[in-house]
Amino acid sequence: MKISTKGTYGLKAMVDLAYNCANGKSVTLKSICERQNISERYLEQIIATLRKANIVNSIKGSQGGYILAESASQITVGRILRAVEGTLHVINSNDNEPKDKIEICIQNSVWDKLNESIDLVVDSITLEDLVFKYDKTLSDGFMLYI
């Protein structure tokens, strides 16, 4: 499993959106792109996918932009990544394919456990968690050592 640029940008954009719409105002795509240094065309595609997955909502009009479809505490990293990337599994088992005993052993002992571990991690981290950590890094400031 490798998370693509689409996945990393999608997650960055969602943290930015959650952080900046905390006061209830919509956030423009352009402002996210400027803060995160992401191409507007590319982010439009990602946001469209997230809209279809009911993770973000668009607000039309002069004060328009995007807001979270639900609370940041209800949106997990796993949900965002799966919407943008599809499956996060290392290897998808195809139950229709015949398997020999070695393949079954490897599937049960390695691939299934890796997939479960990945799911456990990404489904246990919420946007709220990431916004909290991001806010903490901003308030702590940067430490420079010489």
Binned average pLDDT, 10 residues per bin, the chain of 146 residues: 93 97 88 96 97 96 91 98 93 71 88 94 98 89 57
Q: Cα dist. 37→17, 46, 50 in Å?
A: 14, 14, 19
CA distance 25 to 39: 23
Number of structural domains in the chain: 1
Residue 9 in domain: yes
CATH code of 134's domain: 1.10.10.10
Residue 78 in domain: yes
Residue 145 in domain: no
Record the pTM: 0.87
Question: Please, what is the Cα angle at 21 between 142 and 138, to 5 degrees?
Answer: 5
Residue 68 in domain: yes
pLDDT for position 123: 98
Residue 32 in domain: yes
pLDDT for position 139: 82
Residue 61 in domain: yes
Range of the domain at 21: 5-88+126-140
